Amino acid sequence: MAKKQFKAESKRLLDLMINSIYTNREIFLREVISNASDAIDKLCYASLTDDKIGLNRDDFRIDVTVDKEKRQITVSDNGIGMTAQEMEQNLGVIAKSGTFQFRNENGDAAEKELDVIGQFGVGFYSAFMVSSKVTVISRAYGSEEASVWESSGADGYTVKPGTRDTWGTDVIMTLKEDTDEVSYSEYLDNNTLSSIIKKYSDYIRWPIYMDVTRSRYVETDEVKEDGTKKKEWQDYTENEVVNSRVPIWQRPKNEVSDDDCKAFYKEHFYDFEDPAAVIRVSAEGTVSYKAMLFVPTAAPANYYSKDYQAGLQLYSAGVMIMEHCDALLPDYFRFVRGVVESPDLSLNISREMLQHDRQLKVIANSIEKKIRNELLKLIENDRETYNKFYKAFGLQFKYAMLNAYGSNREQLQDLLMFRSAEKDSFITLKDYTDAMPEEQKMIYYAAGETVASLAELPQTERIRSKGYDILFLTDDVDEFLMNMLGTYAEKKFCSVNSDDLGLETEEEKKHAEETEAENKELLIFVKEALEGKLADCVISRKLVSGAVCLTTKGGVSLEMERYFASLPEAVSGGQTIKAERVLELNPDHEVFAALKKAFDEDREKAADYARLLYGQAELAAGVPLEDTAEFNRLMCRLMK
């Protein structure tokens, strides 16, 4: 029979597995046993919802057997099994379920890949780390026929008809010959195998049976001088359950270490980084439930695509009834992974019914609070981890608030972070208001493309000279968010471009008004010289050492203008939304004096100056020069 070829990525992974220099080979057993357990879960679930199947939960089991002569380890289950076609589909390609996303781009970085392999759930293929041949005999539940899949590695596989007494699957792994470096034979030792099972698969809910060899001190037929029988140590073998079967989330908190939880997370949810936080809940009351939840540190590769399935695994009475129960999580916490188990839920429940299930709602509310509290705790106690987490997931809090028109602000506003001008790090709104000097009335922010450009904004100088911090906003949504929030802790948000920064004394105000009145003609002249580019030209109350700055009036800021311009035409409908630009002049700057002088003596020169100053203001604001050629021409003319 002709061999079929593995799919390309599978072949690559397989190559790596076969030639693995990866030392943690023993995980192959965990992977194969997990598959067996999943297969039983599937059948068990089907039998709970379909009376016709009518299987007894106690009959489900996994068996691990060893044949030393043939150098074979067999993992058998009486789960759902596979048809020949399913074998093709499932074993010919890498984890169809998307549990393993192989990173092709890592081309030659073999070391790196191996590391990735070691950390991920690598599935069925890991059997090839220890086996020279893998044979899978499977009979799907409800089918009379069995099939045999077999492969000796990367050169392909065969599928042919076979026999199996009952439904289920046997995975027969023929171990490689020992080499100088590696003893594969050690896996033929029952005690080694049972300790590997204990290490990785202890919480598998189905019993894993194995022959375990022990010694006992027993009487022999030989009689000693004193008439008693001689005793000696004898080995005996018993087929027993080697895993303790209680799922990790059901175990008392003090029995499960942090490391256990992290290991469970990585293995179960296919992450190779430790979670940022582990949340354990054991709730009794109107609804009882247990949960083990994880806040990831980094977003999975598919997180921002349609492929990502949010939701928690929902168990009832020891059976997984839903793999991605999204009704348990608000959308803005969709990054949370984990398991929830409640004895109070009906197993026969459909997806639609779950959405409306009252008990589920109670659990969801309670979970939401726990997650929020845990995140707040991280902010308080482990800022570094929170920062990392926030980098990966923070943006969605902002979108979630905007999308809900702020109705969820109480839940989310304290989780937001912004860049602080003073601290040069990310801070929360609470950090900001806690550090505000008593006389500071508002929360200042500046929006722009990069922190570096914001740090140079001339209009921030006055605020900073007072010792007030400024939030630097660099996400597109930020300004919209600030507009929507309006206040935090009863303090108003105030853009550094706002015409009233609330910093002036009455006297300063009066002085500025007078200066403005005195220079009215000049200001009108500048505005006109700029031929429609400006909505206004004013005497600035924000500048200290800078000569000019560009601000806006009305609801649209320069940042918003940039954002709208970046939208594809299909969204914007070809409409351009423009900010109303205001040129602010520093009356105390010598440039202003020069402008004034030119205005009195040489209007043409004054008009040139006005255009140059506008160009300067554009540059300082981080917006592209509207007319680069003219700016250059003016510069040259000035220097001549």
- Interface residues with ligand ADP (CB under 6 A) are 31, 35-36, 39, 77, 79-82, 90-91, 95, 97, 99, 121, 123-124, 169
Instruction: Decide whether 91 or 598 has the Cβ nearer to ligand ADP.
Output: 91
Query: How far is the CA of 111 from the CAs of 18, 100, 107, 131, 514, in angstroms?
Result: 14, 17, 11, 21, 72
Instruction: Decide whether 121 or 330 has the Cβ nearer to ligand ADP.
Output: 121
Residue 398: strand, helix, or coil: helix
Contact 26, 127 (CB under 8 A): no
Residue-wise burial string across 562-594, b where 16 or more C-beta atoms lie within 10 A, e elsewhere: bbbeeeeeeeeeeeeeebebbbbbbbebebbee
How many angstroms separate the CA atoms of 100 and 95, rounded? 6
Query: Shortest approach of ligand ADP to residue 240 CB, angstroms?
Result: 22
Instruction: Decide whether 137 or 534 has the Cβ nearer to ligand ADP.
Output: 137
> Can you point out the beta strands (E) in 201-296?
208-223, 229-241, 277-283, 289-295
Query: Shortest approach of ligand ADP to residue 7 CB, angstroms?
Result: 12
Q: Token pair of 168, please?
A: 């289920």
Instruction: Decide whether 79 or 296 has the Cβ nearer to ligand ADP.
Output: 79
The residue at minimum Cβ distance from ligand ADP is 123
Query: Shortest approach of ligand ADP to residue 145 CB, angstroms?
Result: 15
How many angstroms separate the CA atoms of 283 and 530, rounded? 68
Query: Shortest approach of ligand ADP to residue 308 CB, angstroms?
Result: 16
Query: Shortest approach of ligand ADP to residue 265 CB, angstroms?
Result: 16
Q: Token pair of 63, please?
A: 């068996």
Query: Shortest approach of ligand ADP to residue 77 CB, angstroms?
Result: 5
Q: Token pair of 578, please?
A: 């423009």
Query: Shortest approach of ligand ADP to residue 169 CB, angstroms?
Result: 4
Query: Shortest approach of ligand ADP to residue 380 CB, angstroms?
Result: 37
Query: Shortest approach of ligand ADP to residue 562 CB, angstroms?
Result: 44
Instruction: Decide whether 81 or 338 has the Cβ nearer to ligand ADP.
Output: 81
| Location of structure tokens 């450009």 | 453
Query: Shortest approach of ligand ADP to residue 88 CB, angstroms?
Result: 10
How many angstroms separate the CA atoms of 422 and 407, rounded? 31
Instruction: Decide whether 121 or 615 has the Cβ nearer to ligand ADP.
Output: 121
How many angstroms separate the CA atoms of 410 and 169, rounded? 52
Contact 443, 494 (CB under 8 A): yes
Using CA atoms of 196, 200, 205, 206 in order, give the dihedral in degrees to the nearest 10. Answer: -30
Instruction: Decide whether 90 or 498 has the Cβ nearer to ligand ADP.
Output: 90
Contact 421, 465 (CB under 8 A): no
Query: Shortest approach of ligand ADP to residue 95 CB, angstroms?
Result: 4
Q: How far apart are the first and last CA of the chain?
A: 88
- Closest by CA to 165, choosing from 192, 145, 188, is 145
Instruction: Decide whether 33 or 539 has the Cβ nearer to ligand ADP.
Output: 33
Residues 6+ apart with CB under 8 A from 529: 606, 607, 610, 611
Query: Shortest approach of ligand ADP to residue 64 CB, angstroms?
Result: 12
Contact 293, 336 (CB under 8 A): yes
HEC secondary structure over 37-51: HHHHHHHHHHHHHCC
Query: How far is the CA of 115 from the CAs of 27, 120, 161, 209, 298, in angstroms?
Result: 13, 9, 37, 31, 17
Query: Shortest approach of ligand ADP to residue 260 CB, angstroms?
Result: 21
Instruction: Decide whether 131 or 616 has the Cβ nearer to ligand ADP.
Output: 131
Amino acid (one-letter) located at 372: R
Instruction: Decide whether 49 or 97 has the Cβ nearer to ligand ADP.
Output: 97
The order of strands in the sheet holding 580-585 is 536-539, 580-585, 548-553
Contact 81, 39 (CB under 8 A): yes
Instruction: Decide whether 96 or 603 has the Cβ nearer to ligand ADP.
Output: 96
Instruction: Decide whether 164 or 290 has the Cβ nearer to ligand ADP.
Output: 164
Instruction: Decide whether 91 or 364 has the Cβ nearer to ligand ADP.
Output: 91
Query: Shortest approach of ligand ADP to residue 80 CB, angstroms?
Result: 6
| Location of structure tokens 């845990």 | 374
Query: Shortest approach of ligand ADP to residue 202 CB, angstroms?
Result: 19
Q: Please state, as a whole number, how many other Cβ atoms lie within 10 Å of the Cβ of residue 232.
A: 12
Instruction: Decide whether 39 or 613 has the Cβ nearer to ligand ADP.
Output: 39
Instruction: Decide whether 4 or 231 has the Cβ nearer to ligand ADP.
Output: 4
Residues 6+ apart with CB under 8 A from 246: 203
